[in-house]
Structure 1
């Protein structure tokens, strides 16, 4: 039963940004905090080894804009190479674009600079630009995940299960955001776990 759902299994992480941020000493991925990125990659590698490459199918990494420029722009190159498990050349311009795609050893990778103010409950009025990277270990779906625009489901007013309704009244058209961002609906973890326990395939798939 579980095997039918393996395509949906993913790992999402935002490794510590303190050493990548434009504010601070900018030690980059060698910094005591931001180098935890490599621990996340180790976990992914060990999971894939233990499951014969089945889990996780997708990994999503998020970090600050400074990751493009830290360590003379070499840190983002290291990030790409860590996911791709192969050498990635620097751009001719020596500047990383705000969006891009690379393909490594059986890994499809896309990244995009997005404004995090469009997700979740707004806490600050100013822009919050963040890098989002999607690595697909089992196909070529990263561009579908990251570049395909979808309607935005607004953040619920409460944390109750019933508040996660996907009714059209709670959605914001991507047209209202200037077609600048792709939208991924919230992951209903509680519903997913309950459906998996009860072996309810329809409700399990509907929780994504």
Structure 2
């Protein structure tokens, strides 16, 4: 099926959909660094594209069977403002439904058969659940029946504990196939927290993890988790209040390091070649960390995509 990739980021949705045999026909992304990575990775020459969902003209959109979008979560996540649809970022959801309403009014046969929507787990609870109810009402009025499930990346062959809600919209009257629920196919042990960095000499407090197990959720701000690498002794718990304590720990056979940008992309299920294409295009480590935290987990998208007939 033909896919329109909205809020595309670096193309996590695209990779997962294309792994299942679907074809991308257009994409929208406003962040210039994410656009550079997207173009380097997917080489979408000749495809329709736009940089701002809020200014897209529905007449310009390519016809697609599936629209995918993980609209901004900054106003929804526990770590964000939690203002929900009252915020300026997460309310961009309605920029998408505005396009759907305009298409329906002009020619409903051009509506996509499927919508695949992703956001943080807290979308179910923000503003007392009223925003999630508003989503259901909005899409129902346009003509979509919905199913949804919280899926954890750790259950789908990647080393990251990342819970996200996926909503599948089915256009009424079309011969669409039920997609959810999706079961776990690779449950792993969560990464064990073994310490904490605190004190004024550190830029910020940070949890420290054992290298055994899986990563905690990658952050959209680009803060990579810190791991305690053992070099000569067994695992131990540590609390590091100052640089002197850290130096003593290092002398005893341990060192601290952040996950690398490549490791973060791997934790989202991206193949190494995709990461290297982005880096070779001149994308900085700061942006590579941010892009890893902002994208969707590719194998989770694939699990959804392969349940939609081509």
Matched, 1:11 2:126: no
- For residues 117-156 of structure 1, the aligned pairs below 5 Å read 117=154, 122=158, 125-139=159-173, 144-147=178-181, 156=271
Q: Which residue of 1 aligns with 2:153?
A: 116
Larger relative CO (CA 8 A, sep 6+): 1 or 2?
2
SS in 1 for 2:74: coil
Deviation of residue 23 (structure 1)?
A: 1.4
* Gap change, CA 1:44 and 1:10, over 3 Å in 2: same
Contact 2:156-2:184 within 8 A present in 1 as well = no
1:54 and 1:155, CA in 2 relative to 1: closer, same or farther beyond 3 A? same
Does the Cα contact within 8 Å between 1:108 and 1:139 map onto a contact in 2?
no
Tell whether the 8 Å contact from 2:155 to 2:185 is kept in structure 1 after alignment. Answer: no
CA shift, 1:133, in A, is 0.5
Q: 1:47 pairs with 91, 103, 116, which one? A: 103
Aligned counterparts of 1:74 and 1:151: Cα–Cα separation in 2: 32
TM-score by length of 2: 0.38
Structure 2 match to 1:31: 87
Equivalent residue of 1:109, what SS? strand
Q: CA deviation at 1:52?
A: 2.7
What residue is the counterpart of 2:273 in the other structure?
158
Matched, 1:58 2:82: no
Cα contact 1:115–1:127 (8 A) shared by 2: yes
Paired residues for 1:187-202 under 5 Å:
none
Aligned residue in 2 for 1:184: 304
How is 1:89-104 mapped onto 2 (pairs within 5 angstroms)? none
For each residue in 1:91-141, what CA deviation from the matched residue of structure 2 results, as whole angstroms up to 9, or x when unmatched? xxxxxxxxxxxxxx7432101111134568x4xx44110010011114476
Measure how far apart 1:28 and its partner are: 0.7
Unaligned ranges ≥5, structure 2:
3-62, 187-268, 275-300
**Cα separation, partners in 2 of 1:182 and 1:10, compared to 1, 3 Å:** closer
The alpha-carbon distance between structure 1 residues 182 and 155, as it changes in their structure 2 partners (threshold 3 A), is closer
TM-score (norm: length of structure 1): 0.55
Report the secondary structure of 2:180's partner residue.
Answer: helix
Cα RMSD between the aligned structures?
A: 3.9
Residue pairs, 1:47-86, within 5 angstroms: 47-85=103-141
How far, CA to CA, are the matches of 1:139 and 1:71 in structure 2? Answer: 32
In the other structure, the counterpart of 1:195 is none
Unmatched 5+ stretches in structure 1: 86-104, 160-180, 187-205
